[in-house]
Amino acid sequence: MTTTTTWDVVVVGGGLAGLAAGAEVTAAGGRALVVEGHRPGGRARVTERDGFTFNHGGHALYLGGPGMAVLRRHGIDPKGARPPLRRYRMSSAGRHHQFPSGPDTLLRTTVLDTRAKVQVGRLLTAPPRTITASLAGTSVSAWLGHLDLRPDAEAVVRAITRQTTYSSDLDDLDAGAAVTQLQSGVRHGVSYLHGGWAQLVDGLAARTQVRTGCKVRSLEPVPGGTAVTTDKGTELARAVVVAAGTPDAARGLLPDPPRLGRAGTGGDRRLPRPRPRPGPITRGGPRRRRARLRHLAVATGGHGPGRWCRRRPHPLRGAQCGR
């Protein structure tokens, strides 16, 4: 096997998660390479046709989330505009009402009576840590079932949750992630980016080395790190981050399938922590085989734009990027 360059970190996948990982390593003084089989951006790619810009995936950037903090840390200040939430309407019983997107519109809307407004208002303004700490692993539907809300209040909370998270599957959507997203949107708002997500993609790609049109075929443990075999050669990495998009894509690259769980119930799980200085890898049985994979970090997403994992999502995926 012929290797070309030794990198501190090779990132497989050039979506926002992969580009952010590469930028983080580069900013810390490491040598990072992001390998992408197509164009960088993943679900954040945009297409321009006849003077119009089309987002392939998300378009609402949550201004109060950790994703925005990552961008600012790298000197990226996305330009955009806030949506006209006060003009949003919702339909109930054949009538149109003000959509309760925040405290002021909640007071003015006619879709709820006073008692229902109080219930919804408490959910929107409750301290995030207090309300989300006990919700991890609980679906939105199960959580709402224990709140004893009035029927109209629950219907509005469901509508706000769908609008905020871009997910309609509330039976599988993690309540902790949904509440964090909902409160972030209400308190800090979102921005629709001028020119689409290309701002983020270009900004992050400029802060690390990216190799496009290069598909990764396999990852194999070798003495001193991991051999990353691509259709353009082989790179040697001391550590590898797999941000390939789906658990199946990650499994197809690894010599042994990690325990990622089914899609949507643990897609962000990581393999065991790497040792500070991994020594030479020798042949052995299953136990040593598992030890060889300790330096591989798997950061896979859910199963489609706007879908959620049971565990905490990546700052630039799911929880902070709407569709």
Same domain, residue pair 219 and 237: yes
**The last residue of a domain, from among 138, 161, 188:** 188
- Within-domain flag for 322: no
Distances (CA, A) of 15 to 35, 114, 118, 249, 299: 10, 45, 41, 14, 12
Whole-number pLDDT of residue 83: 86
What's the pLDDT score for residue 21? 95
Contacts of 285 (CB under 8 A, 6+ apart): none
- Note whether 87 and 173 are same-domain residues: yes
Domain range for 129: 83-188
Whole-angstrom distance, CA of residue 243 vs CA of residue 297? 9
Identify whether 313 is part of a domain. Answer: no
Give this prediction's pTM.
Answer: 0.70
Q: Are residues 129 and 61 in the same domain?
A: no
Report if residue 304 sits inside a domain: no
Bridging pattern class, strands 32-35 and 209-211: parallel
Q: Report helix angle 16-27 to 198-205, nearest 10.
A: 30
The token pair at 76 is 């990226």
Residue 74, classed as helix, strand or coil, is: coil
From first to last of the 323 residues of the chain, give the pLDDT tens digit.
455 678 999 999 999 999 999 999 999 999 999 999 888 888 787 888 888 878 777 678 889 888 899 999 999 999 999 888 888 898 888 899 999 888 888 999 999 999 999 999 888 777 655 566 678 788 999 989 888 899 999 999 999 888 888 888 999 999 888 888 888 887 888 898 888 888 899 999 999 999 999 899 999 989 889 999 998 889 999 999 999 877 788 888 887 766 544 444 444 333 333 344 333 333 334 333 333 333 334 433 333 333 333 333 334 433 333 33
> Which one of 165, 188, 211 terminates a domain?
188
CB burial string 224-252: b at 16+ within 10 A, e below: bbbbbbbeeebbbbbbbbbbbbbbebbbe
The pLDDT value recorded for residue 65 is 83
Last residue of a domain, one of 160, 188, 216: 188
- Please list the helix, strand and coil fractions of the chain in percent, rounded to the nearest 5, in that order: 35, 20, 45
Of 306, 298, 307, 311, nearest to 21 (Cα)? 298
Query: Which of 245, 246, 240 is closest to 228 using CA atoms?
Result: 240
Phi-psi region of 142 (alpha: psi -120 to 50; beta: other; left: phi over 0): alpha
Distance separating alpha carbons of residues 149 and 143, to the nearest angstrom: 11
Report how many domains make up the chain. 2
